[in-house]
């Protein structure tokens, strides 16, 4: 029987890699829903190729364009946030959550409520709502499989293991576009320079977040939320080759490292075929040419995002929502060159300080609305911060 799958954020980097894997194994899958945002050309192209039950753009003003592209074909189209949520309720065996930003949270929660397998790329879902999402998954008996490469690596290293025997988890960071620049040089880098990644090909926002280490900061929080272990056991280290994605250390001194090429199709494919493994056409590592693995300290002074992530992990509650929203606003402000590269961390820190003084972040979110309210407050504050 074919696996019925939906892809949220199908027009993005993760979405396209997912469709690439489906394309290579077309007889195994049936597409329920494809959802995108502004890239209607891609959405139409993929809808024509994969014939989903429904195709959705998040933007109502683009519905006429989507419908025009699908004219004469029997593929229903819809638009708007409510239509995205409705698509997440359509029965599916496997759902990819790959919308970028906090916009991906509501569809993740809807998907999890139907008790399916949720392949979770949208890291904001865990950072802002980890306990809520996992509690809903437990209630609906949904299985959440992480897609972020480091978390897929940890997940794979933990297969058959008892989490209580884990002493430490180390996630690796490439160091991003500016790994070799001095702190004073970092002050003047531009968005265009930040948009190139030495090893991975990803969406624009996550690529810049890699250069600022906000991506790794998010991933530290993701690790704590997904694997439910103390922040004291979680570390980040710079590994410029991006071949070792995570290392899990156990209480008998043994360590399990996960290695693979820097190609998201490995972790997407692992989630797509879980609990089986299938042949995936990614490069195989050749240790004769690799020769060495390099590791460097991920310095929390050079990368304040990592220091802030520690505070967020320690504090819990709505701290992840405040952190993520402030980070998204700071990135927007950097992209329009209103603030500099190093100012992003200052905006986030000052926003968290203000939210803390207002007592907004300490409650444990019980529902989506609690998270969206904190997100809203954090955005307003971070937009107004002068640095
Ligand atoms: P992209 O920017 O490439 O794609 C984002 C997707 O979300 C696109 O389909 C986009 O539509 C859609 N989208 C954007 N805004 C909205 C909105 N408001 N409502 C609904 N849909 C929207 O991102 P990535 O694929 O790089 O990343 C997706 C998620 O996966 C992020 O959370 C990221 O952190 C995470 N991730 C990504 C990795 C990677 O290698 N790329 C690795 C690990 C995690 P459109 O383009 O049509 O406007
Ligand atoms: Mg990652």
* Residue 142 belongs to domain with CATH number: 3.40.50.720
Q: Helix, strand, or coil here: 65?
A: helix
What per-residue confidence (pLDDT) applies to 116? 97
Q: Is the CB of 325 under 6 A from ligand 1?
A: no
Mutate to test the pocket of ligand 1, among 55, 99, 213 (most ligand atoms within 8 A of CB): 99
Judgement on whether residues 122 and 78 belong to the same structural domain of the protein:
yes
Examine the domain organization and report whether 194 and 92 are in the same domain: no
**Boundary-marking domain end, from 123, 146, 169:** 146
Same domain, 163 and 234: yes
pLDDT of residue 45: 98
User: Quick check: CB of 206 below 6 Å from ligand 1?
Assistant: yes
Which pLDDT does position 63 carry in this prediction?
Answer: 98
**7 inside domain:** yes
For residue 372 the two structure tokens come to 């969206």
Cβ of 15 below 6 Å from ligand 1: yes
Q: Are residues 36 and 141 in the same domain?
A: yes
Which pLDDT value is given to residue 303?
Answer: 95
Task: Give the structural domain span for 217.
Answer: 152-262+288-384
Could you tell me which residues come within 8 angstroms of residue 49 by beta carbon, excluding any fewer than 6 positions away?
23
Q: Give phi and psi for 249, each to the nearest 5.
A: -105, 135
Tokens representing residue 16 in the block? 């396209």
Structure tokens at 221: 């929080």
Q: Is residue 276 part of a domain?
A: no
Read off the pLDDT of residues 286-301 as tens digits, 9 standing for 90 and up. Answer: 999 998 999 999 999 9
Cα 321 to its chain centre, rounded Å, is 14
Task: Write down the pLDDT at residue 264.
Answer: 97
How far apart CA 22 and CA 29 sit, in angstroms, is 7
Q: Using the mean position of ligand 1's atoms as its centre, give its distance from the Cα of residue 332 in Å.
A: 15
pLDDT (tens digit per residue) in 112-149: 999 999 999 999 999 999 999 999 999 999 999 999 99
3-state secondary structure of 335: helix
Q: What is the pLDDT of residue 203?
A: 84
User: What's the CA-to-centroid distance between 66 and ligand 1, angstroms?
Assistant: 19
Torsion angles phi and psi, residue 230, rounded to 5: -65, 145
Count of domains forming the chain: 2
Stretch among 174-178, 229-233, 243-247 having the lowest mean pLDDT = 174-178
284 pLDDT tier (thresholds 50, 70, 90): very high
With beta carbons less than 8 A apart as the criterion, state whether 298 and 306 touch.
yes
pLDDT digits (tens, 9 = 90+) for 146-201: 999 999 999 999 999 999 999 999 999 999 889 999 888 998 999 999 988 888 88
pLDDT of residue 23: 97
Mean pLDDT of the chain: 96
Ligand 1 centroid to residue 203 C-alpha, Å? 7
107 lines ligand 1 (CB under 6 A): no
Q: Are residues 96 and 177 part of one domain? A: no
Q: Quick check: is 269 in a domain? A: no
pTM of structure: 0.97
b/e map 13-22, b = 16+ CB within 10 Å: bbbbbbbebb
**What is the CATH number for 309?**
1.10.1740.10
Which residue's CA lies nearest to atom 11 of ligand 1? 37
Question: In the predicted model, what is the mean pLDDT of residues 234-253?
Answer: 97
Largest Cα–Cα separation, the chain: 63
Cα 78 to middle of ligand 2, angstroms:
31
Are residues 140 and 168 both part of a single domain? no
Query: Do residues 54 and 87 share a domain?
Result: yes
Q: Is 348 found in the same domain as 207?
A: yes
**357 CA distance to ligand 2 middle (Å):** 32
Q: Is residue 268 part of a domain?
A: no
Same domain flag for 132 and 178: no
Domain stops at, among 106, 130, 146: 146
Instruction: Provide the pLDDT confidence category of residue 9 given band limits of 50, 70 and 90.
Output: very high
User: Quick one: 134 and 156 in the same domain?
Assistant: no
Calculate mean pLDDT across residues 311-333: 98
Return the ligand 1 atom nearest residue 124 CA: 32
Q: Is 153 in the pocket of ligand 1 (CB under 6 A)?
A: no
Q: Which ligand is nearest to the CA of 236?
A: 2
Query: Which of the listed residues 130, 146, 162 is the one where a domain comes to its end?
Result: 146
Question: Percent of the chain, pLDDT > 90?
Answer: 94
């Amino acid at each position: 029987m074919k696996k019925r799958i939906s892809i949220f954020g199908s027009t993005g980097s993760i979405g396209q890699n997912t469709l690439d894997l489906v394309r290579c194994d077309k007889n195994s899958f049936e597409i329920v829903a494809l959802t995108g945002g502004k890239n209607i050309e891609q959405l139409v192209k993929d809808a024509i190729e994969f014939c989903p039950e429904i195709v959705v753009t998040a933007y109502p003003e683009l519905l006429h364009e989507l419908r025009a592209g699908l004219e004469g074909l029997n593929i229903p189209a819809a638009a708007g946030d409510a239509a995205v949520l409705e698509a997440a309720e359509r029965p599916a065996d496997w759902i990819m959550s790959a919308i970028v930003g906090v916009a991906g949270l509501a569809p993740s929660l809807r998907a999890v409520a139907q008790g399916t397998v949720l392949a979770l790329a949208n890291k904001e879902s865990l950072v802002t709502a980890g306990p809520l999402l996992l509690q809903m998954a437990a209630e609906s008996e949904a299985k959440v499989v992480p897609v972020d490469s480091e978390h897929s690596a940890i997940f794979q290293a933990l297969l058959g293991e008892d989490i209580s025997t884990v002493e430490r988890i180390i996630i690796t960071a490439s160091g991003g576009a500016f790994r070799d620049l001095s702190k004073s040089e970092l002050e003047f880098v531009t968005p265009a320079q930040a948009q190139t990644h030495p090893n991975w090909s990803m969406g624009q926002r996550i690529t810049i977040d890699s250069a600022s280490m906000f991506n790794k900061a998010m991933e530290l929080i993701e690790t704590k939320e997904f694997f439910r272990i103390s922040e004291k056991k979680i570390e980040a280290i710079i590994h410029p080759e991006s071949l070792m994605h995570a290392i899990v250390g156990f209480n008998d001194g043994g360590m399990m490292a996960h290695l693979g090429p820097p190609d998201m199709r490995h972790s997407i494919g692992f989630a797509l075929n879980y609990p089986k493994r299938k042949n995936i056409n990614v490069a195989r590592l050749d240790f004769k040419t690799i020769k060495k693995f390099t590791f460097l300290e991920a310095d929390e002074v050079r990368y304040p995002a990592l220091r802030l992530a520690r505070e967020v992990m320690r504090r819990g509650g709505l701290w992840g929502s405040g952190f993520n929203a402030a980070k998204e606003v700071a990135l927007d402000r950097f992209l329009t060159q209103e603030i500099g590269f190093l100012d992003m961390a200052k905006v986030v820190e000052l926003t968290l300080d203000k939210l803390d003084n207002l007592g907004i972040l300490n409650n444990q979110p019980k529902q989506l609305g609690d998270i969206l309210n904190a997100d809203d407050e954090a955005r307003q504050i971070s937009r107004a911060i002068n640095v």
